[in-house]
Amino acid sequence: MALPVTDLRSDTVTRPTPEMRRAMASAEVGDDVYGEDPTVNRLEARAAEIFGREAAIFVPSGTMGNTIAVKIHTRPGQEVICEQRGHIFNYEMAMLAHFSGCVARTIAAEDGILTWAAIGRWIAPKIYYRAQTGLVSLENTHNMAGGTVYPQDIFDDVCDQAHAAGLPVHLDGARIFNAATVLGQPVATVTKKADSVMFCLSKGLGAPVGSLLVGSRGFIDQARIYRKSLGGGMRQAGILAAAGLIALEQMPARLSEDHANARFLAEGIADITGVRVIGTVQTNILVFNVAGTGQTSYDICRRLAEHGVLASGIDADHIRMVTHMDVDRDACARAIKAVQDVCGCGRRAGAAD
């Protein structure tokens, strides 16, 4: 019998659990554009409570949540500071420019973690002929840097210093529950100093659709207007929110399992000749360099797929694998074996058993 496909392309590929499907089928619904969907209202109230904020808004995607936040925090003609490999800059269809009329001022950080020492020097001087900095946007965990987590003192310091410079801070917290798991702190504590936070239900938390944006009441009131202009006003969205509530309440507790599986994968893959794991693999994302194998990441991913393992080539030299609730330890062991077979060189001389 053929083994099931091990899909490590992203934690977005999870299917809703039977409990989510049951909750979706029986969800109490109304028209959310009229503010009348009780399940969406419950999800928003619960998200605000969990994050210690005044209000929250349910949006169809993380991209829409980030786009709305940038729009509210900035004015056209301003710069948004973000990390060079940040999602907001690379994978959100230039919405900084398209919807908010801003440009990204990108700063490179090898581990994706921006310190104030790195940011401070790029704040535009207050001169009328220089585009002004409008916003600092941080990403925690940092996806393309390999799921790295902001040390709390660095995150808090960036927020404090940005505020002292008169700048708001938005957090792209698509995977903030993964960060909070590593830090051993509630998300409310981890994100307290940011002015707004976007987080996703549809990644490690396993919901089929949806993200939330949290912030002050006034901020969320404005967000409701921009969500509608972007076409994100949904009607009986309680069908989705019902799964989202289960994701929010139950799924954070199991994320450490994904982190352990990612470390297991990393340890198995690190032994393969020509492969170099990036960073320490703190959460559920593993990025590894395959330049030493003499093959491109794209060729390796194509061949892995023939072995029933799906992974993403993020550039010619790097592959990303993401663990999630639909891959268990056995699936990760099969993935290691597939990488060994495809890279074709077994283990490095001297590698311990």
Ligand X SMILES: Cc1ncc(COP(=O)(O)O)c(C=O)c1O
Residue 61 contacts ligand X per CB under 6 A: yes
Rounded to 10°, the helix 238-250/18-25 angle is 140
Closer of 61 and 297 to ligand X (Cβ): 61
Taking alpha carbons only, the member of 151, 189, 200 closest to residue 322 is 200
Residue 211 contacts ligand X per CB under 6 A: yes
Please identify, among the stretches 45-53, 57-65, 110-118, 337-345, the one whose residues bind ligand X according to the rule CB under 6 A: 57-65
CB neighbours (10 Å) of residue 182? 18
Binds ligand X (CB under 6 A): choice among 32, 44, 83, 139: 139
Taking alpha carbons only, the member of 82, 65, 37, 71 closest to residue 214 is 65
Rounded to the nearest whole angstrom, what is the least distance from the CB of residue 293 to ligand X in the complex?
26
Closer of 149 and 200 to ligand X (Cβ): 200
Binds ligand X (CB under 6 A): choice among 200, 272, 287, 321: 200
Question: What is the rounded CA–CA span in Å between residue 333 and residue 22?
Answer: 32
Rounded to the nearest whole angstrom, what is the least distance from the CB of residue 345 to ligand X in the complex?
31
The Cα-based distances of 257 to 177, 252, 264, 285, 340 in angstroms read 13, 10, 11, 12, 23
Residue 323 contacts ligand X per CB under 6 A: no
Closer of 200 and 287 to ligand X (Cβ): 200
Per-residue interface string for the shown chain with ligand X, residues 151-190, x marking contact by CB under 6 A? ---------------------x-x----------------
Number of residues located near ligand X, criterion CB under 6 A: 12
* Residues 6 or more apart whose Cβ sits within 8 Å of residue 288: 266, 269, 270, 275, 276, 277, 278, 318, 319, 321
Interaction site with ligand X (CB under 6 A): 61-63, 66, 87, 139, 143, 172, 174, 200, 202, 211
